[in-house]
Structure 1
Amino acid sequence: MSLVLHYHPLSSYCWKVQIGLYELGAPFEARVVNLGDPQLRAAFEALWPTAKIPLLEDGGRVVPETSVQLEYLDQRFGGGLLPADPDARLEARVWDRVFDNYVMTPMQKIVADRLRADEAKDPQGVAEARALLQMAYGMIEAQFEGGGRTWAAGEDFGLVDCAAAPALFYAHLLEPFGERPALAAYFERLLARPSVARVLDEARPVFQYFPYRERLPARFWDPPETLA
């Protein structure tokens, strides 16, 4: 098997690419990256110096950055994650950046702050991150108001939804959606998507290591009766 995903099962950005792989039905080998081991880290940095996960290898080709990885996979495995229409594709790319920059990034800021020593905590930075999340939630709610669309960039599940599922999963544990019924309904549709359900099920054994694990509802701890 030539396709390898270097990843960690708790990483939201890794989930983004895993969801895309499952949507496309692409066969791949998942390799957990241990950046805490100096020798393993050096080997990983030799593939891509930033040492960021996920990293995709396809034969001798190394593909970094999640949005690029999903576009690459979309081309490699016959399409479906990105719309063919140029205007629709542009909208998908815009919303992909919204979820990465204004949901995923501030969410990670809040998680990282919990891991800091007390003297190094950044309450102002956390407050700013929470404000960014609320701003993004408002944008997403407006995108779905009126019930005119099923998924974030149209009627087909795609690139944006691959980004949205992990971003919203972790973000809603740290900063609730509030009174935003359209956003909440979209989140439930994401959870019910087979590719998303599969990623969550695979991550279940390591949820105990999530810094905000006490906020995980029981439905995410308990094994599902069936995996759609």
Structure 2
Amino acid sequence: MTLELYGHPFASFVWKPLIALYERGIPFTFKMIDPDHPENQVRIAALSPTGQFPALIDGDKEITQSNAVIEYLDLFHGHGMPMIPDDPRQALEARMMADVFDDYVHVQMQRIVGDALRSKEERDPRGVTDAHALMDRSYAWLELRLQGKQWAACGRFTIADCAAAPALFYGDWVHPMAERFPVLAAYRQRLLTRPSVARVVDEARPYRRFFPLGAPDRD
């Protein structure tokens, strides 16, 4: 039975399992979540506690949350290098770095974007300021952490890089790295040239007009 991944190509957390699927050559059917596919919207509402995506269906197995989906794929599908290393020490490093990108870059970026979608009366300037500050601190930490490294953890492409790709791609749109973080910016560029990442970027390209802060004319 073919795997089914529920999501939208422009949704940043959906990029993570998509990258893992492409990295490991796993066949799947993509189930688009949008107004043109109401049946998929109904399905995701049942799959996820909040109706958020991604979610993976594998027969009678239902998996939600992007990291859990990637771990599931490692366990049961594909023959390429797993996104989480077999060595428990390396696995710990990969998971830790994935959490850093998720919590301190990705989620903060989403706070800023989400605020832009609110009405003027509902906006949270302090929350946006705090999110920018945390992203800046995270960039500074990552700048040092990534010195001399090609990938984020374990000397190879892992779940940490699956997390880094959308976090830094959209993160640089809302909180640019500019020239202050050249190591981090170079890592972001390496991610964009990775075939699996380049593919998700291209698949999301038709939807850039929906970015509420205005997509930059690059990438």
Could you tell me the TM-score, scaled by structure 2's length?
A: 0.92
2:193 aligns with 192
Given that 2:109 and 2:167 are in contact with CA atoms closer than 8 Å, whether structure 1 keeps it comes out as: yes
1:133 aligns with 135
Shift in alpha-carbon separation, 1:144–1:40, aligned structure 2, 3 A: closer
Output the aligned Cα RMSD. 1.8
2:53 aligns with 53
Which one-letter code corresponds to 2:45 in the other structure? Answer: E
1:152 aligns with 152
User: What are the Cα deviations for residues 95-147 of structure 1, in whole angstroms up to 9, with x where unaligned?
Assistant: 111010001100000001111111111100000000110111011111112x1
156-165 vs 176-185, which moves further: 176-185
Given that 1:106 and 1:133 are in contact with CA atoms closer than 8 Å, whether structure 2 keeps it comes out as: yes
Given that 2:165 and 2:192 are in contact with CA atoms closer than 8 Å, whether structure 1 keeps it comes out as: yes
1:95 aligns with 97
CA distance in 2, matches of 1:15, 1:46: 21
User: What are the Cα deviations for residues 17-56 of structure 1, in whole angstroms up to 9, with x where unaligned?
Assistant: 1011100100000011137987754433233343110001
- Count of residue pairs brought into register by the alignment: 216
Given that 1:5 and 1:57 are in contact with CA atoms closer than 8 Å, whether structure 2 keeps it comes out as: yes
Shift of 1:84: 1.8
Given that 2:44 and 2:52 are in contact with CA atoms closer than 8 Å, whether structure 1 keeps it comes out as: no
Within the candidate set 120, 123, 132, 2:122 is matched to: 120
| DSSP-derived class of the 1:176 partner | coil
Which one-letter code corresponds to 1:3 in the other structure? Answer: L
Unaligned runs of 5+ in 1: 221-228
1:81 aligns with 83
Alignment of 1:158-197 (within 5 A): 158-178=158-178, 179-197=180-198
2:205 aligns with 204
CA distance in 1, matches of 2:197, 2:174: 20
Which one-letter code corresponds to 2:98 in the other structure? Answer: D
| DSSP-derived class of the 2:155 partner | coil
Sequence identity (%): 44
Which one-letter code corresponds to 1:8 in the other structure? Answer: H
CA distance in 1, matches of 2:37, 2:71: 31
2:18 aligns with 18
Alignment of 1:62-77 (within 5 A): 62-76=62-76, 77=78
Which one-letter code corresponds to 1:201 in the other structure? Answer: D
CA distance in 2, matches of 1:211, 1:27: 32
